[in-house]
Amino acid sequence: MDNDRKEKTFILLKPDAVQRGLTGRIIARFEDKGLKIIAAKLVQVTREQAEKHYGVHKGKRFFESLVEFITSSPCLALVLEGRNAIKLCRRIMGSTDPMDSEPGTIRGDFSLDVKHNLIHGSDCPDSYAHEVQVYFTPEEILNYRLELEGWIYYA
């Protein structure tokens, strides 16, 4: 991808992030890197949404525990936009296993274990396209410009 092009990514702050009061600190890390929030909402994930979101894992031994956890408490769903947003967000998040996450990443600094790893983020454009429609309608995703963008994209 051209380094000056923007892309969108889906982020879900999981029940443990909400329950531990970490949502503001996590969002700040993305904004500090120049990513723009273009959609956000607090959601009580339904079983139907969870099964659709994690459909790729259906039939695996851990599928049911994923569904139970993500539906156990509210989550904060976000769409972020920015330069190389998917790759950048994945780096900010850190490895899925917090034991493998570097200090300075969200999971490296705050996660307790693999199940309670605070955050989900799209891993590629196809995942984004699938995941975003589980939680947002097209009308809920805003298109606006921050003055900061001129400094980031040199437009």
- DSSP code per residue over 6-61: EEEEEEEE-HHHHHTT-HHHHHHHHHHTT-EEEEEEEE---HHHHHHHTGGGTTST
Question: Looking at this protein, which amino acid is placed at residue 123?
Answer: D
Listed by start position, the domains of the chain span 6-90+116-145
What is the CATH topology of the domain spanning 6-90+116-145? Alpha-Beta Plaits (3.30.70)
Cβ count near 89 (within 10 Å) = 24
State the pLDDT at residue 150.
Answer: 77
Handedness of CA 49, 51, 56, 57 (dihedral sign): positive
State the pLDDT at residue 1.
Answer: 38
Would you put residue 40 in left (φ > 0), alpha (ψ -120 to 50) or beta?
A: beta
Q: Which residues of the chain have pLDDT under 50?
A: 1-2
State the pLDDT at residue 73.
Answer: 98
State the pLDDT at residue 2.
Answer: 47
Residue 94's Cα: distance from chain center in Å?
12
| 75 CB-contact burial (10 Å; exposed 0-12 / middle 13-18 / buried 19+) | buried
Residues labelled catalytic: 120
State the pLDDT at residue 40.
Answer: 98
Give exposure, 112-140, as e/b (b: 16+ Cβ within 10 Å): eeeebbbbbbbeeeebbebbbebbbeeee
